[in-house]
């Protein structure tokens, strides 16, 4: 093989291989923040009689564990009080959390990306609980299993009592007019309320629905609401 052939044919390929090797990620790849529900924001309210006392509002996705038992994966949580404004709820929760909980989403993947169906639940607020720490948890019956820190560590179980109200909402996300919130979930409540007090118009692109729980029932008795 002549030097000219090597320079023209093999040298570019060799340089490409070297470039790929040096730029290949050495750590674990994390696709947790690419979930189709991440960054969606809803303003929530609870209607009487369910909403006559303070409670915990959760934004969830239906799931099933490896034993075939169904439940809800918690993607967002906020404390609700009748005396305050609508409670803003940020959908977070990572794909990695699904693996840690050993659960699978029930909604088809393609449909989940196009129009995720969020189930909003109302419970009594457990004593000494921080709603942000409940994200990534698994609800089955009256038990909420907090997000495990690792596959080897047994998760903490929290009794959240009976469900007070439920509503299903289909999201219709418009990429041209709407945006997703990509900040740190722990600071969301503070930043949202501060911006709403300063200039609420700037929050409009980040609003993906105003939901009242339980809301009006359809003829078949199922409470649902279509997204915009």
pLDDT in tens, 91-135: 987 888 999 999 999 998 888 888 899 999 999 988 888 898 999
**Model confidence band, residue 35 (pLDDT cutoffs 50, 70, 90):** confident
The mean of the pLDDT values for the chain is 81
Distance CA 222, CA 117 (A): 14
pLDDT of residue 4: 62
- pLDDT band (50, 70, 90) for residue 16: low
Least confident residue range of 8-12, 48-52, 134-138: 8-12
Does the pLDDT of residue 184 top 90, yes or no?
no
């Amino acid at each position: 093989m002549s030097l000219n052939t090597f320079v023209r044919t093999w040298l570019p390929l060799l340089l490409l291989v070297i470039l790929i090797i040096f730029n290949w990620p050495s750590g674990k790849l994390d696709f947790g923040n690419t979930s189709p529900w991440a960054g969606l924001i809803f303003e929530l309210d609870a209607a009487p009689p369910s909403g006559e006392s303070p409670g915990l509002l959760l934004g969830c996705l239906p799931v099933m564990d490896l034993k075939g038992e169904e439940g809800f994966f918690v993607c967002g949580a906020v404390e609700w009080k009748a005396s305050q404004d609508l409670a803003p709820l940020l959908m977070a929760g990572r794909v990695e959390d699904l693996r840690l909980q050993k659960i699978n989403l029930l909604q088809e993947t393609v449909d989940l990306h196009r129009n995720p169906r969020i189930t909003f639940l109302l419970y009594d607020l457990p004593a000494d609980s921080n709603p942000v720490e409940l994200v990534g948890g698994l609800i089955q019956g009256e038990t909420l299993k907090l997000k495990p820190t690792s596959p080897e560590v047994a998760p903490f179980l929290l009794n959240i009592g009976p469900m007070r109200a439920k509503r299903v909402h289909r999201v219709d996300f418009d990429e041209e007019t709407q945006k997703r919130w990509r900040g740190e979930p722990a600071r969301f409540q503070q930043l949202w309320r501060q911006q709403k007090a300063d200039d609420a118009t700037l929050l409009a692109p980040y609003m993906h629905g105003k939901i009242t729980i339980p809301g009006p029932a359809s003829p078949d008795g199922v409470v649902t609401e279509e997204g915009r």
